[in-house]
Structure 1
Amino acid sequence: MTWAPVARRTGSTREKLLGAVLVLPAVALALVVVGGGVGATALQAFGLLPVVGRPRPGTGAFTARPGELFAAIGVSLSVAVVATAVAVVVGTTAAVVIVSRTRSSRAVATLGTLTVTIPHLIAAATVGLLLSDAGVLPRLLGISPDDWAPWVGGPLWGAAIVELAWKESAFIALIVTGTLATRIQTYDETAALLGAGRAQRFRHVLLPLTAPTIVIGAAISFVYALGSYEVLWLLGRTSPEPLPVLAVRLFQGVSLDARNEAAAVALVTCVLALGAVALTFAALRRTATWR
């Protein structure tokens, strides 16, 4: 038996116009809020909107602290990439467990739901109390502070990665579970009836059909981890500083000249986030499900 491909229906011009009109208020509001904030930041970063004095166009704010800026970019990208990768693996695995309807699925779903509701600030404080050298975990294990790994404030940013991966894995599990529970369950059952094992169903059915959802969830998690301030400030090192921490420190400095430098750091963060979004859409266009 062969299955003929179903032609995708394209909407008429009237339907497209109606759809554009319906989303226009939301798009306009987003452009005003986001575009206005990013535009003002760009003007200040390039010296066109100074706090005091006359405008002095130039790129001096970007080159004033080149060492700190490049170090901040490296730290932010490293933490965001590692935390997002761990969150995708853990979240996707949790979603598969939730829809499998086993004994542990309800417990995993409950833990994921509770994790999503916890604010990042409280989660960061909890991870800090748990993983610090005098925290709860080394005391329970009977490990002295000198022998405990430097998770909080350490060179590998372990506590910050753990917190971001923990919180974002629950978010990814939530959206992937929604995809698995709506349209993919039928395909999975059909493949099981045809003799496909669990590994084959995951590789050839679940993973390709959930790829767009996973990619979108990974992009959202990456952008959040890239711009997260409170988590990296509480659990990270004092030097080198990640991009959001560096931007806030410069903005709160006593020198008004540092405001332009803070705007430059914020603008670099925005460019990196927009680049990640552009790569996400490019990756989505290559998936068969998106097409």
Structure 2
Amino acid sequence: MAINVTKPPPSRHLLDAAPRGRRAVRLGSRDRTFGFLLAAPAIALFLVVAVYPLIASIGTSLYDQSLMRPDRKYVGFANYVDVWPDFVDRLGNTLVFSVMSTVCPVLIGVALAVLLNSRLKGRNILRGMLMLPWLLPGVVVSFLWAWIFNDSYGVLNHVLGVIHLPAVDVLGHPGTAMAAVVVAKTWNSFPWIMVVVLAVLQTLPREQLEAAALDGASRAQRFLHVSLPHLVGPVALVSMLEFIYNFGSFDMIFVMTGGGPGTSTMTLAVSLYEYAFTDFALGKAAAMGVLWLAALSVVCGGYFLLNKKLESRS
């Protein structure tokens, strides 16, 4: 004889404890306190390193303050009015340097990544050799290329002399100084872009590439229609990060040209340094820094929007 056994209904507290969709987890007071204590050192470090200097700079920008005298006088927004023409001019140079120093290494990095992703003999050794420029500090790279472009004893003019061509003063001419700095920055930056793109290429589904090859697609067609769509997102993010880094670059331009000749390579970073440590005008330097931060915030906002858009597609 079959025995009918019915399960008792679940108690009310079990029903209340059962998850209903996605419910927010409520932490107790002890858990919240423990979590805050864990985050407190990082928060304190952020306040000391980032927030306090920002507030102090905004305050200093409203005063006529100099390193040559201890007192200071409140001038309101007069410093912003004084530095505005220089800011507009330096912003143009900064954008030129940032754009060129982003486009060139991205193009070279993508091309080399595609080459190293193929069945090239000795590609592992070549990968290691191409990483060397990225391992060198920016100051070392700056001195290296300043020596190469030197008009008196540089490698470039020595090579031109060997092939009986006239010497050129690359760093001393306004039309070529920016190009020389861009070349140095490109040489220093392309390896990390190459590594990122190569990593993306290594994750591409081989089935799609093999299917395209069986359908008769050439190597160029496989790259344009299979590989390139996978590269657009990562390359766009890498380009934005490189642009943000170049927008605040200081060491390479300062070492190679010092912002010259004239103001042909004077970027916002170098101009801020000149205000603070050459003219000793801390108020104007702080005003230039605040304007620089505002411009950089726009660029960072574009990066976050692009990142959010790419995440929504994935």
What is the TM-score when the length of structure 2 is the normalising length?
Answer: 0.74
What secondary structure, in the 3-state scheme, does the structure 1 residue paired with 2:227 have? Answer: helix
The equivalent position to 2:274 in structure 1, one of 249, 258, 266, is 249
Could you tell me how far 1:176 is from its partner in structure 2?
1.6
Structure 1 portions without partners, runs of 5+: 1-10
Could you tell me how far 1:216 is from its partner in structure 2?
2.0
Partner Cα distance (1:246, 1:183) in 2: 45
Q: Deviation string for 1:56-85 (max 9, x for gaps)?
A: 362222221333222211111111111111
The equivalent position to 2:94 in structure 1, one of 69, 76, 83, is 76
The equivalent position to 2:129 in structure 1, one of 87, 97, 111, is 111
Partner Cα distance (1:46, 1:37) in 2: 15
Partner of 2:159: 140
Could you tell me how far 1:194 is from its partner in structure 2?
4.2
What secondary structure, in the 3-state scheme, does the structure 2 residue paired with 1:142 have? Answer: helix
Could you tell me how far 1:238 is from its partner in structure 2?
4.2
Inter-CA distance 246–97: structure 2 relative to 1 (3 Å threshold) = same
Could you tell me how far 1:180 is from its partner in structure 2?
1.9
- Whether 1:212 aligns to 2:233 is yes
Partner of 1:4: none
What secondary structure, in the 3-state scheme, does the structure 2 residue paired with 1:270 have? Answer: helix
Map 1:28-177 to 2 at 5 A. Answer: 28=43, 31-32=46-47, 33-47=49-63, 52-53=70-71, 56=74, 58-103=76-121, 105-134=123-152, 135-142=154-161, 147-156=166-175, 157-177=178-198
What is the TM-score when the length of structure 1 is the normalising length?
Answer: 0.79
Could you tell me how far 1:30 is from its partner in structure 2?
7.6
Q: Deviation string for 1:90-143 (max 9, x for gaps)?
A: 111111112223126335412332111111111111111112223112212316
What secondary structure, in the 3-state scheme, does the structure 1 residue paired with 2:74 have? Answer: coil
Over the aligned positions, Cα root-mean-square deviation in angstroms equals: 3.4
Inter-CA distance 158–103: structure 2 relative to 1 (3 Å threshold) = same
- Tell whether the 8 Å contact from 1:95 to 1:177 is kept in structure 2 after alignment: yes
Q: Which amino acid aligns with 1:87?
A: P
Partner of 1:266: 289
- Tell whether the 8 Å contact from 2:139 to 2:252 is kept in structure 1 after alignment: yes
Could you tell me how far 1:189 is from its partner in structure 2?
4.2
Deviates further, 194-203 or 43-52: 43-52
Could you tell me how far 1:88 is from its partner in structure 2?
0.9
Partner Cα distance (2:275, 2:110) in 1: 38
Partner Cα distance (2:295, 2:255) in 1: 23
What is the total number of aligned residue pairs between the two structures? 275
Partner Cα distance (2:89, 2:163) in 1: 32
- Tell whether the 8 Å contact from 1:87 to 1:166 is kept in structure 2 after alignment: yes
Inter-CA distance 288–166: structure 2 relative to 1 (3 Å threshold) = same
Percent of residue pairs identical: 21
Deviates further, 196-205 or 111-120: 196-205
Moved over 6 A (4+): 21-27, 48-51, 143-146
Structure 2 portions without partners, runs of 5+: 1-20, 28-34
What secondary structure, in the 3-state scheme, does the structure 2 residue paired with 1:151 have? Answer: coil
Partner Cα distance (1:30, 1:198) in 2: 51
Q: Which amino acid aligns with 1:263?
A: A
Partner of 2:10: none
Partner Cα distance (1:102, 1:193) in 2: 21
- Tell whether the 8 Å contact from 1:92 to 1:176 is kept in structure 2 after alignment: yes
Partner Cα distance (1:14, 1:50) in 2: 53
Structure 1 or 2, whichever has the larger Rg, is 2
- Tell whether the 8 Å contact from 2:65 to 2:71 is kept in structure 1 after alignment: no
Deviates further, 31-40 or 259-268: 31-40
Partner Cα distance (2:23, 2:215) in 1: 42
Could you tell me how far 1:151 is from its partner in structure 2?
2.4
